[in-house]
Amino acid sequence: MGDTNDYAFETVRREIRHHIGEKIGKSTVENFYYGRGNPKFNTVMSIMRWVESKEVASSVNNNNNASSANNNNENNMG
């Protein structure tokens, strides 16, 4: 379980750096996840922007999947 969490925290750290451009440590992500300490405002904002980017990407994917399903249904009916 520890290796899985370690991988997840590292992945989040890398994605925040890549998408948001903010440097953030793996231990910072871990502490935020577990509610340890008192994170800096900038850290919270970076994580929130990352979560928001994930939600937007998920929403776009869901809309594309729904659109594809509708197109498939229309093609199968015709």
Q: Which residue has the tokens 């990407």?
A: 57
Say if 67 falls within a structural domain: no
Q: What Cα–Cα distance (Å) separates residue 20 from each residue in 16, 30, 52? A: 5, 18, 11
Say if 63 falls within a structural domain: no
Say if 75 falls within a structural domain: no
Model confidence over 15-59: pLDDT tens digits?
A: 999 988 888 999 999 999 999 999 999 999 999 999 998 888 888
* Domain that includes residue 49, residue range: 2-57
Q: Quick one: tokens of 75?
A: 């093609």
Give the chain's domain count.
1
pLDDT in the model for residue 76: 60
Q: Quick one: tokens of 10?
A: 């590292």
The yes-or-no verdict on residue 2 having pLDDT over 80 is no
Q: Which residue has the tokens 């953030």?
A: 24
